[in-house]
Chains A and B, each alone.
Chain A
Amino acid sequence: MNVQAWTFVLVTLSFALYIGVAIWSRARSTGDFYVAAAKVPPVLNGMATAADWMSAASFISMAGLIAFMGFDGSVYLMGWTGGYVLLALLLAPYLRKFGKYTVPDFVGDRYYSQTARIVAVVCALFVSFTYVVGQMRGVGIVFSRFLGVEIHVGVWIGMMIVFLYAVLGGMKGITYTQVAQYCVLIFAYLVPAIFVSLLMTGIPIPQVGFGVTVVDGSGTFLLERLDGLTRELGFGVYTEGRKATLDVLFITAALMVGTAGLPHVIVRFYTVPLVRQARSSAGWALLFIAILYTTAPAVAAFARTNLLTTLANQPYASVPNWFRNWEATGLIQFEDANGDGLIQYTGPLSSVPNELTIDRDIMVLANPEIASLPAWVVGLVAAGGLAAALSTAAGLLLVISSSVAHDLLKKSFHPSITEKGELRAARTAAGVAVVVAGYFGINPPGFVAEVVALAFGLAASSFFPAILLGIFSKRMNHYGAVSGMIAGIGFTLGYILYFKFLYPELNDVEHWWLGVSPEGIGTLGMVINFLVATTVSRFTPAPPREVQKLVEDIRVPRGAGAGHELSA
């Protein structure tokens, strides 16, 4: 069987599995729909969180980004995992104790204000829609390359599948589908990584493999060889950073805090039965994520070494098959500027002009082919990439639909709605969100990982400070929280729009404020949020006594919380 046939079989099988799981676990009540009736065991919740969280950006783009950025790619590794420590220590247990359905629920009740609730809904919708765009582009890439269909057809197929299990199953369906998707995606990620590690270093554990010597008997360490190649070709040394330290700090912080503030991740901690399980499920989630996140830099180093040795200064006439395949999609482009028939593949520091352009997003998908692995491995990677993209898309759609049905309808504009009506509204909202997300998947505004990185800045500058202050400061009132959220997200959004959409030609270190890139600006937005919130709250009345009691109450796992038990 060839690659296409294998892909078709494996993708169809995995989709059948997800839909079967969704039908088996479909939602019957709003409690089922929003938080899976808070009955998910912590290890499974950790797995679902990992799948929910690891998106097309993690699966498809991240290793590619690291392969091309080298040491500087570490911001994504540390940023996207470090946030779980904040989540486990600062947010998850308290939000679980509070025990409602959504993040705006917490913000609205804690700040005893409909304005605060609606600001939080707007932030949640904004973050989720920004994020979902990246997923849809990922689905499009996978389908167009492996099934040979147009990108928009691929997006349509993906949207129909998500629609089926997100709308039918709600959080309960999504949770168990995500457990299945985690298994598919991690298996799909590890198999080629282990193969490649064995081929290149003789060690089956990729995490160890990229720190040992290559198998050619020369006795050089893989990373030494890679450093040598990158230096020689003018890319800058692989294991050394080139970005400004301040910007690296800001980007890492924005990704960490953004991770902790993402509504579709936070809501996963409402789905376990006990507060202590909210703590441990954050640990399980990070453990399952770490399996992929410690493999990714190894994949990156292997892929980059392979790429440079097989392509740099080789004759174009004799390039391998995978090169031609990807050339056909336009994601690899070669232009023989000097007409010598050789591929001059050089970096910005080299005096020889570069002739080869490679889209970073293809690195993971092309890796098995580059290492000449069997066809079924290539198909498996396609299925894994789809699992990653679809599980995250489903989680985000749920946040969108519960924000609309629960926070806007039930809690704000139409409190008399019946449970059945609310459930129907949630499903309709999910349906509309699927269509909007599909539109953006067909007309994507940019790079997968870049767009996703922006969603983090927005989450970092809006939710994180509001939730943190809501738990750790009894004095914080709604004046402070609302003005903080508006100032934080307003500043961050303004900065990003200015450099990314209004004046993209000015988007470089010289014009950035304090040398902070749009990817890292969420950190500053967060600081502004904290400052504005604390200052404003100091000059306005303290929150009412019952709210202060609520804060005391969520700080302990048990007791006095009759009003805050989960009403499933």
Chain B
Amino acid sequence: MTRRGDRQRYWRTNLRYVFTLLAVWFLVSYGFGILLAERLNRIRLGGFPLGFWFAQQGSIYVFVILIFIYVRLMDRLDRRFNLHERKDR
């Protein structure tokens, strides 16, 4: 088992990842998809008004990517602190 200070550092890094990723989550959905949608709609992405695209397509793609980024980051963090699970459970 790791020492107490290590656990705290692990937890704080985890919180930092979560906070950063949720900031992006907030930006693409509530930001681009709702609050700024009307303004973004003046820009076009092919046939899509941009705000509309974020609300009905873009934000969903970003959500998927965010989760897989988190998975990667946490896998690395678990290993760094020797907290990853062994296969023999």
Contact = CB atoms under 8 A, between A and B. Distances in A.
A280 B10 CA distance: 19
B55 A555 contact: no
Nearest to A283: B67
A459 interface: no
Contacts of A211: 45-48, 53
A558 B87 CA distance: 11
14 contacts: A66-B56, A78-B33, A78-B34, A78-B55, A84-B67, A89-B67, A93-B74, A256-B29, A274-B85, A276-B84, A283-B70, A287-B64, A293-B60, A558-B85
A557 B78 contact: yes
Contact of B60 (A73, A77, A89, A283): A77
Contacts, number: 146
B34 A283 contact: no
Given A223-B48, A249-B35, A287-B64, 15 more contacts: A77-B56, A77-B59, A78-B60, A81-B63, A84-B63, A93-B74, A211-B53, A245-B34, A249-B34, A256-B29, A273-B89, A274-B85, A283-B64, A557-B84, A559-B2
A12 interface: no
A78 B26 CA distance: 11
Nearest to B4: A552
Interface string A191-232: 000000000000000010011110000000111100000000
A507 interface: no
Counting chain A CB atoms within 10 Å of each CB, which of B22, B30, B38 scores highest?
Answer: B30
Interface in A211-270: 211-213, 221-224, 239-241, 245, 248-249, 252-253, 256
A297 interface: yes
Interface residues of A, number: 55
Nearest to A213: B47
Q: Which of B10, B18, B34 has the most CB of A within 10 A?
A: B34
Given A213-B47, A279-B74, A286 B64 contact: yes
A279 B61 contact: no
B47 A283 contact: no
B18 A89 contact: yes
Nearest to B77: A557
A88 B67 contact: yes
Contact of B83 (A78, A221, A556): A556
Nearest to A201: B47
B83 A557 contact: yes
Contacts of B25: 82, 85
Nearest to A224: B47
B67 A559 contact: no
Interface string A274-303: 111001101100110010011001000000
Contact of B78 (A66, A89, A276, A280): A276
Given A74-B55, A559-B1, A81 B60 contact: yes
A323 interface: no
Contacts of B41: 239-240
Interface string B25-51: 100011001110110010001111100
